[in-house]
Amino acid sequence: MFVNFSTLRERYGQRHVPVSTIPYAANFGQEHKIETLEAYFSENEDFFEEVPNPLPTTTERDYVFDSEFLSDDEFVIPCANNDSHENDVIAYSWLLDELPNCSTIAALRKLDNAPLMKSLNDVYFRLLVETQGSEGQLWHQWYLGPRGSGAPLHYHCQAYNTLAQGEKLWVMIPPEHTGSDVDDGLAWGYSNRQPTTWLQSHIDDLTGHAGASVCVQQAGDTLFVPSYWSHLTVNLRPCLGFATEIYRDC
């Protein structure tokens, strides 16, 4: 029901995307390039490997993390023609293989068996819908990355992250633990270092860190990131998915 790597390449190969070892690299004074998805896939053929190779430990892998290159219209179809008279939304429509009916309820019913739509539960949609119609702001992003790519430790307002394909490791640290027990508090709150590099020098600290949790997100899982929780990700398998930051009440 979701586009996979091959379909993505086929349909959107000529689309330009930002490519860098960490998301929004330019904001951190780091190198990034803009290239077509086709070029990116050609440089990272392991997206299509049947049996994954061991995780690279020395190479910092390039990640596509994109919020600028698609308009909101391409992410979200607002629908006002449902029975409840609420503004309904279908998020990330361009990533769906088959466009559901223009009603969240109908879409959920129709896609009842799809693990992804099950995970886009009522709470998610309600938050999106309420925020669309209020003073809050939604920030939609999508990502595509091979094994070993990921996002450095950082925090922001509450967010939902849905993994369409792949497997993603998360390290999460609540705000009350992001600075109290290490000399450099920032080490636990924010970093501009690629996560596999960062993990190599912090793995011992991390395993002894009282506040840190680790979990693995599987394809079809939607993960809620609470406001100001510091988090880091590493894609354990090639990943495709999307995230929405919700700037309301934080």
Ligand X SMILES: O=C(O)CCC(=O)C(=O)O
The residue ranges that bind ligand X (CB under 6 A) are: 143, 150-151, 159, 161, 225, 231, 233, 243
Residue closer to ligand X, measured from CB, 94 or 228: 228
Which residue has the CB atom at the shortest distance from ligand X? 243
Find the shortest distance in angstroms from Cβ 113 to ligand X: 25
Compute the Cα dihedral for 6, 10, 13, 15 and give only its sign: negative
Find the shortest distance in angstroms from Cβ 102 to ligand X: 27
Structure token pair of residue 216 = 């693995």
Residue closer to ligand X, measured from CB, 143 or 188: 143
Structure token pair of residue 19 = 């490519």
Residue closer to ligand X, measured from CB, 108 or 246: 246
Residue closer to ligand X, measured from CB, 104 or 222: 222
Find the shortest distance in angstroms from Cβ 23 to ligand X: 7
3-state helix vs strand vs coil in the chain, percent to 5:
30, 30, 40
Find the shortest distance in angstroms from Cβ 81 to ligand X: 31
Residue closer to ligand X, measured from CB, 94 or 105: 94
Structure token pair of residue 165 = 């394909």
Find the shortest distance in angstroms from Cβ 54 to ligand X: 20
Compute the Cα dihedral for 111, 114, 117, 119 and give only its sign: positive
DSSP labels for 152-214? EEE--S-EEEEEEEEEEEEEEE-GGGSSSSSSSGGGGT---S-HHHHHHHHHHHHHT-TT-EE
